[in-house]
Amino acid sequence: MKELIRKLVEAWGPSGYEHQVRQLIREEVADLVDEVRVDPLGNLICRVGEGGPKAMLAAHMDEIGVMATYAEKNSGYLRFAGIGGLNHATLVGNRVKFEDGTTGVISAHDPWNSSRPELDDFYIDVSDGSGENPIRAGSPAIFWREMETRGSRIIAKSLDDRIACAIMIEALRNLKRGKKKKTPNEIYAVFTVQEEVGLRGARAAAYGINPDVALALDVTSTGDMLKAGKMGVQLGGGAAIKVHDPGLVVPPAVRDWMVNRAEADGVKYQLELLAGGTTDAAAIQTARAGVPSGCLSIPTRYLHTTSETVDLQDVEACVQLLTGLLAHPAKL
């Protein structure tokens, strides 16, 4: 599974520009599903099975990035805006990559000033020695760093949310080729777009699918770092089953459905109560007349940096739990 994760996290795909990631995933799932289509917003929608409860899964393909907004004349410097939520404390010295492969370095007018509330203080250096600016305004870029491993830990950019995409692919593979070859559900595995800029893809996909139940798959914070806020989720503690976040109150029936399956299958799990942030489930739950929605979360350190960190034991627990949920009727 490591190579699948590497392929996905090192792909280029900021919000609104997910086409390269979508093509990689489409190739991975081609033999695992009964139908594949791309909706008008760019979501990759994969159906498995027909009849039975409609279960929608959502994992977003996009990652945070930047948009070049102005090219300074004869300098090789770019002004930029954020695509998704940027942590200003991590920007100086970070590298970004444009779709044509150009690498830029972020700096600031006063790089030693620790209080920089505005992006106006930052710029991207793409100078190549020619005196020209190789990148035009309107060009998006991702933050760039290669994936690394440390024991059971994966360290990479865009684990938010490519790790969930990998988990969904592995669960589909288990259903197709493993012990559980059939599903009693009509599954819609949706690889969504534009989550980081407003949960846009999930909202549109859910309206079209009109599912009976839905699960978002996404990363969550942990409370096991030095002087971290109080939170029960830990790296290595197992799959995180969401109870509550600022955008979603999980219906008890959905929570119990997930907890009961984890206990029946002997999957290590922990309950997640998140103080900040939300997921695609917050958009899905209000589609049409409403959809009972929950979230299967992957504990992750250093979110929205190029060094997001997950533990493969948690990843495997999520794969096992998701496979078990899909292999049994999704009846609440």
Question: DSSP state, 154?
Answer: E
State the pLDDT at residue 234. 96
Catalytic residue annotation: 195
State the pLDDT at residue 163. 98
Domain ranges for the chain:
2-63+157-327, 65-143
* pLDDT value at 277 more than 70: yes
Class of domain 65-143 as given by CATH: mainly beta
% of the chain exceeding 90 in pLDDT: 89
Alpha-carbon gap, residue 310 to 316, rounded angstroms: 11
Topology, domain 2-63+157-327 = Aminopeptidase (3.40.630)
178, containing H or E segment: none
The sign of the CA dihedral 297, 98, 81, 200 is negative
Three-state SS for 79? strand
Residue 138 banded pLDDT, cuts 50, 70, 90: very high
Alpha-carbon gap, residue 104 to 148, rounded angstroms: 21
State the pLDDT at residue 118. 86
Q: pLDDT by residue (tens digit) across 279-302? A: 999 999 999 999 999 999 999 999
Note the pTM of the prediction, 2 decimals: 0.96
Alpha-carbon gap, residue 302 to 289, rounded angstroms: 36
Report, as an integer, the average pLDDT of 138-166.
98
State the pLDDT at residue 73. 86
Comparing CA positions, the residue from 217, 202, 220 lying closest to residue 284 is 202
Report, as an integer, the average pLDDT of 206-234.
95
* pLDDT value at 179 more than 60: no
